Amino acid sequence: MSSSVAHPMWNVPNILSLSRIPLGIVLFACIVYGAWLAGLIVFILAVLTDWLDGWWARRYGPMTSLGRSLDPLTDKVLICGAFIYLIPVPDAGILPWMVTLVVCRELIVTGIRGLVESAGMKFGADWFGKLKTALQCAVLIGILLQQTLHDLTGRTDPWQLGIVVIAITWAMLLATLGSGIQYIVKAVRLLSSSGENGGRPSTGGEAPRRSREDRRQ
């Protein structure tokens, strides 16, 4: 189907993407009030909708520019918001500078992507960006699981998850910083190449249509 065909905003992939906003609000409330088991279930459900919206769009359609924008945007609201709300939780191990790094990276990459794509060039995610997202989700699941087990057993870290969560957290921070630097370098090269071609994109014409994974940064 041609990308020029209009599609209604309220299609299944977009609804699934938008559902992460109310799910995020519920998750934030669960963190504030210490409802850790409910928060864990809500976050896992949100992660499932993140997978399902892309699968549905690829299999049944439609693939729209709005959907490609909504998907990463709602991901960032969910993940960055969860990290922000975990800062005051004593046993979470999330410090303000860590959250600052995560949020700044997402804002910078989003801005750079818009600049590059406005010049008609493709600026998709690679394995480094996808690894970063997977590690962020793993950290949040680990912290929520840790807090849930503490509530259920009355013991601090009964499964000795603390060391694992700390290791994943540091890996996530390194991936966040490394992928951010990589995208900045990539953007500078693309924009420099466009300038040398007299402002024309090096890909020659209209940017290729992107799948949902291309927007996962």
**CATH number of 114's domain:** 1.20.120.1760
188 falls within a domain: yes
Predicted TM-score (pTM) of the model is 0.81
Per-residue pLDDT of the chain (217 residues; tens, 9 = 90+): 444 444 567 888 888 889 999 999 999 999 999 999 999 999 999 999 988 887 887 777 767 766 676 778 899 999 999 999 999 998 899 999 999 999 999 999 888 888 887 777 766 667 888 899 999 999 999 999 999 999 888 777 767 888 999 999 999 999 999 999 998 998 888 888 766 555 555 544 444 444 444 444 5
Q: How far apart are CA 156 and CA 158, in angstroms?
A: 6
Identify whether 2 is part of a domain.
no
- The pLDDT assigned to 60 comes to 77
Range of the domain at 135: 12-215
- DSSP H helical ranges for the chain: 12-18, 20-33, 36-60, 65-86, 96-118, 127-153, 162-196
pLDDT of residue 82: 97
Residue 197, phi then psi, degrees to nearest 5: -90, 15
pLDDT at 66: 67
Structural domains counted in the chain: 1
Pinpoint the alpha helices (H) of 197-208.
none
The per-residue pLDDT for 6 is 47
pLDDT value at position 124? 65
Q: 4 lies in a domain?
A: no
Is position 6 within any domain?
no
Q: Is residue 1 part of a domain?
A: no
Is residue 7 assigned to a domain? no
Q: Tell me, yes or no, whether 5 lies in a domain.
A: no
In a domain, residue 93? The reply is yes
